[in-house]
Every structure is written in structure tokens, then in C-alpha cells.
Amino acid sequence: MKKFLTIAMCVIIVGLVINQMFNKDIWDENRELLKENVLATETTEEPVSLSSLTPFDWDRVYSIDPYASKEEIYDVVGYKWDNVEQTLSEGMNQLVFMKEDKVVCYVYGYPENNGFGIYFEGAETEGRATVLHKEDDVLFKRHTFDDTVVYMQVE
């Protein structure tokens, strides 16, 4: 009986570890969906709304200022999660999409590494971030750099 319990516990632990390895967080899954949509946008003069690029539900998005610490980011968004990083330079992109006070999408890194970047400035700021609300329906224009990186910037 003792041997059976030991084997059962080992199987459960291995199962949990494998599940964690292959189970992406919702913010990672949504980042990949957002990336697909941004890269699929047509190269036209027509601007697109951010909400048309996001296949997930959100109510606000924060563009975190460069060099904001983890604690400053937590204070701005009002939510702590494991994967948050400090932005290390002005060229990095850090966006936190929220829905009802939960992170639903997190974009972090250099656009050259991610394949895309989304940039906006706005009148509304909270701490070390600029905020856009979904209902603002802000329009973005597509720009391409070196035919490999797509930038979406406020028109």
C-alpha cells in the first residue's frame, strides 16, 4: 500500500509539472493572438482601432514608462503577477491590457524581437503609465520597419 501511494504521488507530481510546462497563462496566449492580428493588418493608409486588433476582451491598456520598477507597475495596474519586468530602455514596448482588474494580455520587449510594437501617448496618465480605455476607440496607423517589424502608432 505504501509503494502504491508513493507511485501515485509521483504520477500526480509529474502530471502537475507537465501541465505547468505546456499551459500558457492567459496573458501569453492573448499576446500571441494580438501579434497575429497586428502582423496580419494590411499596409494601407486606413487607420484601425486597437479594439479591432484585440481578439480578447479588455477595458483599459497601460503603456508603461521606461525604467518603471516592478512595484511602480504593480501600483499603476493594481495587480501583481509573476511575469512583470522592468523596462530597460526607451526602445522597449511594455503594455498591460486589463479586464475588470485582471491582466488579460502582457506585451514586453523590443519590437525587433517581438515582431511588433504598439505605441500611444495620451492625456490620461496614472503613475508611470499612459492609459487608454477601450471605449475611447483610438485609431492606430500601421508602419513597417525593415519589412520585418510592424509598429502600430496612434494616428
Closest CA to 73 of 96, 56, 104, 107: 96
- pTM (2 d.p.): 0.79
Task: Select from 35, 40, 95 the least CA-distant residue to 65.
Answer: 95
Instruction: Quote the mean pLDDT of the chain.
Output: 81
Specify which residues 82 forms β-bridges with: none
CB burial readout 22-35, b (16+ within 10 A) else e: eeeeebeebbeebb
What pLDDT score was predicted for residue 9? 60
Long-range pairs of 69-74 with CB within 8 A, sequence gap ≥ 24: 72/127, 72/128, 73/128, 73/129
Tell me 9's DSSP state: H
Per-residue confidence (pLDDT) for residue 151, from 0 to 100: 77
pLDDT at site 6? 66
The better pLDDT of the pair 129, 17 is held by: 129
Cell triple for 106: 502582457
pLDDT at residue 57 is higher than 90: yes
Residue 12, pLDDT score: 57
